[in-house]
Structure 1
């Protein structure tokens, strides 16, 4: 009977694992993604919450382009300390970017862009901020602001005052109340700095003598600015361009009627 006994049947079951073990690599990649997004949104917040000077200071903190010696850029609060762009906080071998003409100083050690009222250093950015309200309260109302464009060029800060179809700047040769208000606001902002001033007047085509008209108007603009408190000695030139440099395709468009008050850069 022992010979007739059957051997036991042994069944082996093999466990098959699909895909294998991935480890924690995905967690590292996800953490890198979250960190990058946080840095991106922080950057977006900084761009919206700071002005141009503060952004320059932040950029130079991470990538210094000016040699610094014996001076710390820290302050009591956020953006409250002296940055490397402050003239008095630089090494002797460096020049500052807070001023449009770095290194220019008067005999008493103050900048040529120092406020005439003794309020400390000011720059073209401060003038633009005063006109646009970026630094707080604007010198112009919303109604006047639609007639102002400012930009910084190689020549200096250009403050352009322009007419619209329903709001001219001149009545014949005389400034309208609108232009007078615009020039008074421009004069108040220009008192923040000591730069010389140039005046350029453009007229729309269609007048009898655009050249003579633009020259007469430019002198009227100068007189209005002087009456608003700007010293006559600051005016370097006044120019009438006639209708020769239109900004619109239609030479007779009211937008071509404009006044440019230029705060000139200091010459070395």
Structure 2
């Protein structure tokens, strides 16, 4: 096409972008290849499960699983998620592989050493260990060993039970006697070490009797424990009973209190020695309870007048006027 003078030539450039249609792309091929691979692996797995035994499958699983030295069985225990399902509450874990410690028999240790020589073996040194039940010498076992021949099982058991009961009673009685001896010495020492009561040591008599520990407070010719003919205690008697109460408070024994008088009678129509001995015993009870002895421990409060004199050959002696505090035994000797 002709143009006028002075006009240039117009050049038009058309660019066309080449490409394939959307349905002609290659991305689907990759996805299809992955699908075919997965299906092939799945069918291969199914074939292996059908063509192998249980032992072979377990060997394959152990080969591909990491070694678990703490586990007792294969991972998963043959079920998904370690034996649990996703629908169950709680953690998706199983305790099938937890370690369990149980106490078994103690291993036997032999003091043997391997020796290829033909020399005779040296004797093994004996080790002393704790004695077994059959080696412990108990009273029942000793009685059984020394039972007379011909004794039947029933008679033997009855005899053992009786012998054991007697041995127990004797042991308890012996311990109680020792404890009462210690209490007697403590009472004597408490009186000796008190300067205000040292002169009353000769009027204190502490001794063991079949019933228990008897503590007697005696009147003196010039040191009466109570007012003459009355039941008012002296100051020294109060201090003395405080010492006695402090000692007997350490034991749980029951207490029996007895009052005694001499043979001197009252005037006719007045009160008798029975009344006086009972009143003095009751006054002693009050002083002991003030010293801390529980009222529940008092077993009896008795007045015997002059029926049991300490010195029968001299019924008028001042020592017959006394108060007795008796700690009763809990385990009398058989």
2:183 pairs with 1:127: yes
- Aligned residue-pair number: 162
The answer as to 2:286 corresponding to 1:213 is no
Q: Give the whole-Å Cα distance in 1 for the aligned partners of 2:172 and 2:185.
A: 15
> Whose Rg is larger?
2
- Residue in structure 1 matched with residue 173 of structure 2 by the alignment: 100
For residues 53-88 of structure 1, the C-alpha deviation after alignment (integer angstroms, 9 at most, x for no partner) is xxxxxxxxxxxxx96x9xxxxxxxxxxxxxxxxxxx
Residue 324 of structure 2 corresponds to residue 265 of structure 1:
no
**Hey, what does 2:244 align to over in structure 1?**
186
1:252 Cα deviation (Å)? 1.9
The aligned residue for residue 236 of structure 1 is: 299
Tell whether the 8 Å contact from 1:202 to 1:243 is kept in structure 2 after alignment: yes
Summarize the alignment of residues 67-82 of structure 1 with structure 2, pairs less than 5 Å apart: none
Q: Output the TM-score relative to the length of structure 1.
A: 0.53
Which structure features the higher share of helix residues?
2
1:251 corresponds to 2:315: yes
C-alpha distance in structure 2 between counterparts of 1:93 and 1:217, whole Å: 40
Distance 2:198 2:325 in 1: 20
Alpha-carbon distance, 1:178 to partner = 2.1
Unaligned runs of 5+ in 1: 1-65, 70-90, 103-112, 114-121
Residue 176 of structure 1 is matched in structure 2 by: 234
Q: CA deviation at 1:142?
A: 2.2
Q: Is the 8 A contact 1:101 1:266 kept in 2?
A: no
The aligned counterpart of 1:4 is none
Tell me if the contact between 1:204 and 1:254 (Cα under 8 Å) persists in the aligned partners: yes
TM-score using structure 2 length = 0.43
Decide whether aligned partners of structure 1 residues 264 and 143 sit closer, same or farther in structure 2, where only a CA change above 3 A counts: same
Are the structure 2 counterparts of residues 97 and 168 from structure 1 closer, same or farther at C-alpha, using a change threshold of 3 Å? same
Structure 1 contact 196–236 (Cα < 8 Å) conserved: yes
How big is the alpha-carbon RMSD for the aligned residues of Structure 1 and Structure 2? 3.2
TM-fit CA distance, 1:253: 1.6
How many Å separate the matches in 2 of 1:237 and 1:150? 19
Deviation at 1:138, TM superposition (A): 4.9
- Residue ranges of structure 2 left out of the alignment (5+ in a row): 1-137, 142-163, 267-271
Q: Secondary structure at the match of 1:183?
A: helix
Distance 1:224 1:93, change over 3 A: closer
Match of 2:210 in 1: 154
